[in-house]
Structure formats: C-alpha cells, structure tokens
Structure 1
Amino acid sequence: MTRPPTHALLGAVCLVMIAFPALAHSGDGYGGGFVAGFTHPILGWDHVAAMVAVGLWGAFLGSPAIWILPVVFPLVMALGAVAGIIGLPVPAVETGIALSAVVLGFMIVLALRPPLWIAGVIVAAFAIFHGYAHGTELPATVNAFAYAVGFVISTGLLHLIGIAFGLLVRWPAGRMAVRGAGALISLAGIAFLTGMA
C-alpha cells in the first residue's frame, strides 16, 4: 500500500481549511467582505474609467507622478470611504464620480502637465467621491476592513492597467493611443454625467 506524499496531503488539508470558512461568512453573495469590496470598483464602469485614467495620466506625466498619483488616489479614497461609512454628508457624489472621468480624460487628451502638487490635489479631490460611494454601499453583513482592503487592491490594479497602457507614451503612435484612450474616458464620463450610460 502506497502512502500519498506528505506535501500533497498537507496541501489538501490547507485547501479544505481555507475554502469552507470563506464560504460560511458570505454577505450578499460575496465572501466575508473582501470579495464584495474587490468587485465594487470593477463592476462600476464609472469607477473603472476614472481609476484607469489615474494610471494613464500618471504614466503620461512620467516620474514621479506615475507612482505618486496611484498612491494618493487609494489613500484619499479610503478616507472618503470612512466618511461614507460614518454618514458624513458629501454632496453630489455621483456627479463627482462622473466628473472625475471627464476631467481626468481631458487632462490626458489635452496633454496637460500641471505641477505635481496640483495633479495630486485633482486626483485626491475625485478620490473622495469614489471612496464615499464605496463606504455608503458597504453591505451590512460584511467586515468593513476586509471590504476596504478589497476595494483598495482592485483600485490599485485598475491604476496598474492604466499605467501599463500609459507606458505607450514612449513612442509617437503610443502617445496618440493614450490620448485617444483619454478621449474615450472623457466621453464615458459625459455619458455617466448625462445619464446616457
């Protein structure tokens, strides 16, 4: 009689122990909060457009903006989420989210290069609206910390997608492609703003 390898048996035990508790604490169909938070930005096209735009604009501006803007956004977004969770009033949240895509897209289309601190303030201001929306839509049955970690990680991944595409600015044709993507993001923002999307 042959015995299974020890590492295979240990791996199977670990999988069983990890998988079942996650399924046992689901809220609104999502496991424990992390998955709900992770999917919240990527299931909303208004969030996707703005978050990809942050990475695109950072790549367009180059170093150090390429890394600073995608760090500023999720940090301030987390503060906005806290404001939403505790119920602080923030007016025109959906308008602010839609305007973030419009403005950030136009910055890319027009190849605007403001000083880094101004770019940071613009990104931070819009991050408040996105975070507030995440905070107010926190499902009652999930862990708020896990939810926040989830939406911060997915936001970072969306920024990385924007950065990866934005690196095309090194070539003339790529620069035009990035500015074209900025135009699409702005148009999407206008559609969100006018209720066409």
Structure 2
Amino acid sequence: MTLRNRLTLAFTALLCSPALAHHPMGGQTPSTLTEGLLSGLGHPILGLDHLAALVAVGLVASRYASGALLLPVLWIVGMGLGAFAHMNSIDLPAGEILVAGSLVLIGAIGVLRPSLPLPALAALFAAAGFAHGHALAESIIGAETAVVGAYLIGLVAIQAAITVGTILVVRRLFSPETRLSLPVRAAAAAMACVGLVFLIAALPATA
C-alpha cells in the first residue's frame, strides 16, 4: 500500500471514530477567557458532524485554483453570522437537520464532482456555515461578552486551520489532474456518510 493510500485510510478512520464528548467544558457554559478559548477550539473537533463538515469544505475547495481560500472564508463568515443570530435569540427551525443535511450535500458534491459554478458553491458554503455556527453558539449562550469573544476567536482559528489544512494536504498529495481521484472522493463519501448518520438521528426529533 502506498503512503498516499495509508494517509487516506488513516485520515478517514480518524474522522469516523466516535467523539468522546461534544463540548470541551462537559456541557457547562465557559466562565473564563481560557475556558471560552478552549471551548471554541475544541467544540468543532469534538462534534463529529462539525469536524466532518470542515473536512468536506476543504476537500471540495481544494479542486479550485483561484477560489480555494474564498470558500472556507465564506464558510467562516457564515458561521459567525449564525452564531451571532443564535446569541441574539434568532431561531433557526430544524437546525440539526440543516447541519446534517448540509454536510451530506457538501460531501456528495465532493463525490459526484458536479460542475457547479464557484458563486453557487460560495452561497452554499455561506448558508451551511450559518447553520453550523447557529448550532455551535448553543454552548456559549449566557456567557459574558469577553468570554464569548474568546470562544469566537478559538472557533474561527480552529475552523480556518482544519479547512485550509485539508486543502494543503490534498494539494500536497495530489496533482491538479488527480485531485478528483478515488481517494479524495472516498474521503468526501466518508464525510457524507457521517452527515447521513446525524441526519437520520435528527429526523425523529422533529416528529
């Protein structure tokens, strides 16, 4: 087995392993700047659906030469707006379904290779980021303003690191002609499967 295939399998296995917890603070609202920062850094990693979405964003964005970094930026901007909406008591109906559904959709785009124009993907990424940000803000509701700021700094930093890091890994392992090859598509399929599991789990909650 080649090094490239080993890395792909290890990467997929890591992402498909169950998370130990969804919140770094064990579900408690952060009360200090350090707790806020750590919560922001850890929340998207410990939430498997959020982590898979970030990897899927990077996988899809890696196929674009000029707009690769634009897509993660729009995702993060959308995430910030979604968090702001939640903290200002703006509800998002069926939020968990939207979070899981957006992951399935982005993963499917990475698998099926549809020729979507960059503006369409940009709108999708911003909207999906909004849904994820709205969900992520739940753990910071009620915290002091400074703690919220530290949480958002951590949230932006870790999401930028994962999305851009995924882009760099794909570009390091694959040439422009092979970035839509089987290993990349398999990784995207794994992310879509994670979303499908969360989507199925979320459906009964709306019944």
Instruction: Tell me the distance in 2 between the aligned counterparts of 1:29 and 1:39.
Output: 15
Superposed displacement of residue 161, structure 1: 3.0
Instruction: Tell me the distance in 2 between the aligned counterparts of 1:119 and 1:34.
Output: 30
Instruction: Tell me the distance in 1 between the aligned counterparts of 2:99 and 2:82.
Output: 12
Q: Which residue of 1 aligns with 2:8?
A: none
Aligned residues: 170
Deviations 1:54-104 (A, max 9, x none): 1110002x2222111011110111011000111101111111111121101
Is residue 187 of structure 1 aligned with residue 193 of structure 2? Answer: yes
Is residue 33 of structure 1 aligned with residue 36 of structure 2? Answer: yes
Which SS does the other structure have where 1:112 is aligned?
A: coil
Q: Which of 145, 150, 153 in structure 2 is aligned with 1:146? A: 150
Q: How does 1:39-78 map to 2 (within 5 A)?
A: 39-60=42-63, 62-78=64-80
Q: How does 1:4-153 map to 2 (within 5 A)?
A: 27=30, 31-60=34-63, 62-138=64-140, 140-141=142-143, 143-153=147-157
Q: Which residue of 2 aligns with 1:9?
A: none
The letter of the residue matching 1:46 is D
Deviations 1:3-34 (A, max 9, x none): xxxxxxxxxxxxxxxxxxxxxxx937982411
Superposed displacement of residue 136, structure 1: 2.2
Q: How high is the TM-score relative to the length of structure 2?
A: 0.75
Query: After TM superposition, where is structure 1 displaced by more than 4 Å over at least 4 residues in a row?
Result: none
5+ unaligned residues in a row in structure 2: which ranges? Answer: 1-28, 203-207
The letter of the residue matching 1:92 is A
5+ unaligned residues in a row in structure 1: which ranges? Answer: 1-25
**How well do the aligned residues superpose, as a CA RMSD in angstroms?**
2.2
Cα distance change of structure 1 residues 127 and 133 upon mapping to structure 2, 3 Å threshold: same
Q: Which residue of 1 aligns with 2:11?
A: none
Cα distance change of structure 1 residues 169 and 110 upon mapping to structure 2, 3 Å threshold: farther
The letter of the residue matching 2:34 is G
Instruction: Tell me the distance in 1 between the aligned counterparts of 2:179 and 2:39.
Output: 38
Instruction: Tell me the distance in 1 between the aligned counterparts of 2:196 and 2:166.
Output: 19
Which SS does the other structure have where 2:68 is aligned?
A: helix
Superposed displacement of residue 105, structure 1: 0.7
Bigger drift between 174-183 and 49-58 goes to 174-183
